[in-house]
Structure 1
Amino acid sequence: MRRALAVVLALVATAAGLMLLGLVVPRPAALSFPPPGEAAGRHAIYLAANPIHTDILLPATPEVRDRFAFLARDGLDLGHPALATIVVGWGGRAFYTQTPTWGDLTLDAVWRSATIDRSVLHVALGGRVEGDQPGLVRVDLGDAAFAALLEAVADSFQPASDGAPQLIPNAAYGAFDHFYEARGPFNLLLGCNTWTAAMLRAAGVRTGLWTPLPPLLLWSLTLHEPTAAS
């Protein structure tokens, strides 16, 4: 019993140590862009965080609507008068598509997330947001950084033979969202929050080296990019 307890404590201590390193060690070590919010132009994006997941909220500007024109092809109303943001998140296919609420959680979804699952992108139409809403963090990007973010998000979709994102039929939560096939496998250790961090890094925003949980990602932004994130 004591040996088993010692092994468990050692594993917990190792995991905690790795998360601490992942938080305090910046990635990349040096900036490749000008400071994200200080280049020409300014674009405000938001990170929406709950205890296990983060989404990226893009402003629904004409430029962004053009990049997401495929949503209109697939039946979403990009001309809706209340549309102010386009919400994008990446995750495991089973957990993401089968679990709109915690009451829908299944052992299959948990097992696939804990091992390896195919990935999907969830895209939803959203309304106006305020920076002081709980769970929201604003990140300011210059023109070049914002363009790089949009390119990285677009490259996360697994294209069909015609080059367009592949819609997953009958997987939406409601009338204002869709799921699409995504690139790369999903695993809890390299999951939705590490994808969000990778998108930010594509825009020149430094994050922690490894941020598998939302608090780690948000703390790493406070630590490494205090002028860009608020």
Structure 2
Amino acid sequence: MRTILRYLPLLVGAVLLAAALGALVPRPLWPVAMAQGRVTRRILVLKNPIHTDIAIALDDGIRRRFAFLADAGLPVVASEARYIVFGWGGRAFYLETPTWSRLKAMPVLKALTLDASVMHVDVAGAVKEPHPDVASFDIDEAHFSALLDYIAASFRNGPVVIDNAGYSTYDRFYEANGQFNALVGCNTWTAAALRAAGLRTGWWNPLPISLGWSLRLYN
């Protein structure tokens, strides 16, 4: 135990240094060109202290693109629906922690080690802008299409809805591709999705704050 305590500050320092470097080193290294005069799509990145989501404005084309979610019960045609919000994360933590007051030890342990992943999809009304927890980015149609492809590919078997899971009548959980852990988690998924959209992120963004820093630095 004494040996562990002796090296714990070094371990914490190494993780913090890695997170800082991960935010400061851009990925990709060079900017991606957007089609001139064709920056026509706006996407939003929503954050809380530990998690980020991507919000896309709903229109007829988006409803058709994600019709498989409506078929699985997501209310994308609700009259008050303005955005569809996508997030990827650890199954145990996502499903068993709808609020911080219901935080339990086992989902935290799985998040810190290894867990199956799920997609969380929410239908939202108007999103307040400007807001410190909302960042917006304009991209062209080609990169917007690549973003939609990336999101769609994150669903397992197109899709498999998880029964009796959700925080309200406006959201659903689906089985997802990939394994989750704290080092390659929800925010690294968001970062990869944004790179598919032609944006630059940090090389490694495990936390919303580091992802936000890199997005402000390089876009």
Q: Structure 2: how far apart are the matches of 1:35 and 1:25?
A: 21
Deviation at 1:8, TM superposition (A): 1.7
Opposite residue 124 of structure 1, the aligned amino acid is D
Partner of 2:20: 20
8 Å contact from structure 1 (residues 39, 143) kept in 2? no
Deviation at 1:30, TM superposition (A): 2.3
Deviation at 1:39, TM superposition (A): 5.2
Q: Structure 1: how far apart are the matches of 2:29 and 2:81?
A: 37
Q: Structure 1: how far apart are the matches of 2:142 and 2:128?
A: 24
> Which runs of 5 or more structure 1 residues have no equivalent in the other structure?
226-230
Distance 1:69 1:35, change over 3 A: same
Deviation at 1:173, TM superposition (A): 1.2
Q: Secondary structure at the match of 2:119?
A: strand
> Which runs of 5 or more structure 2 residues have no equivalent in the other structure?
none
Name which of 189, 193, 204 aligns with 1:199.
Answer: 193
Partner of 2:82: 84
Distance 1:11 1:144, change over 3 A: same
8 Å contact from structure 2 (residues 23, 203) kept in 1? yes
Partner of 2:106: 108
Deviation at 1:4, TM superposition (A): 4.9
Q: How many equivalent pairs are there?
A: 219
Alignment of 1:53-202 (within 5 A): 53-159=51-157, 164-202=158-196
Q: Return structure 1 stretches of 4+ with deviation > 3 angstroms.
A: 1-6
Distance 1:5 1:115, change over 3 A: closer
TM-score for the superposition, normalised by structure 1: 0.90
TM-score for the superposition, normalised by structure 2: 0.94
Q: Structure 1: how far apart are the matches of 2:18 and 2:113?
A: 19
Deviation at 1:221, TM superposition (A): 0.5
What is the CA RMSD across the aligned residues, in angstroms?
Answer: 1.6
